[in-house]
Amino acid sequence: MTKKPTDQLIELIQQLEHISGQLNSTLKKEQAVLKLKDSQQLLELSDEKKALVTHLENHTKTTHIFLRNMNINKGLYGFSDALSSLASGGIKTLLEKAWSNIQALAEDNKKLNQINGSIIELNRRHTQRSLDVLRGQASTTTSTYGADGHAANSKVSRNISIA
């Protein structure tokens, strides 16, 4: 027994919403773990996030193709316009709500991922500076200001293990 195209569309959109929600939860967990600095759990979440992103990309492509086959020329890019042309009713309301949630989740996921990336970059810089100090190397990214107000790179003259 085959499903009607509208039932298939509802299922596809709800699945996109579900995967987006899972990714959102994973990104929030990742942010909490980054603050705890638990590298093992961070690796596990990274693998989970990669799998979810791949699943989301594949499902997005499937939904896009399905919409194009329904003569929505722009696929997902034209979905909002296609929704506005639907007759009012339960299906339209259901799809509008799910689509609105997907768009909100996508924006939130983007922000969370940017914040998490910034935290990772900051931690990487701190680690690099610590390694530079332990190796007795001056870091080109750290500087102090002289009496004239100009930045002057700090110089470390020897390895900390020798001191």
- pLDDT at position 154, please? 54
Residue 106 to residue 123: CA distance in whole angstroms: 26
Q: pLDDT tens digits for the chain (163 residues)?
A: 567 888 999 999 999 999 999 999 999 999 999 988 888 999 999 999 999 999 999 999 999 999 999 888 888 888 888 888 877 888 889 999 999 999 999 999 999 999 998 988 888 888 888 888 888 875 555 556 566 655 555 554 455 555 5
User: Does 83 fall in a domain?
Assistant: yes
Residue 163 falls within a domain, yes or no? no
Whether 133 is covered by a domain: the verdict is no
* Within-domain flag for 120: no
Q: Are 73 and 155 spatial neighbours (Cβ–Cβ below 8 Å)?
A: no
Structural domain count of the chain: 1
pLDDT at 136: 80
For residue 141, what are the CA distances in angstroms to 118, 148, 151?
A: 17, 20, 11
Query: Is the torsion defined by CA of 22, 98, 62, 78 positive or negative?
Result: negative
Does 122 fall in a domain? no
pLDDT score for 146: 61
**CATH code for position 72:** 1.20.58
Query: Is 29 within the bounds of a domain?
Result: yes
- Residue 42's nearest CA partner among 31, 53, 54 is 31
CB 32 within 8 A of CB 20: no
Whether residue 146 is contained in a domain is answered as no
Number of Cβ atoms within 10 Å of the Cβ of 104: 13
DSSP assignment, residue 152?
E
Cα torsion 35, 40, 43, 47 to 10°: value is -120
Q: How many CB atoms lie within 10 A of CB 105?
A: 19
What is the span of the domain harbouring residue 64?
5-112
* Calpha distance 60→12 (Å, rounded): 9
In a domain, 32, yes or no: yes
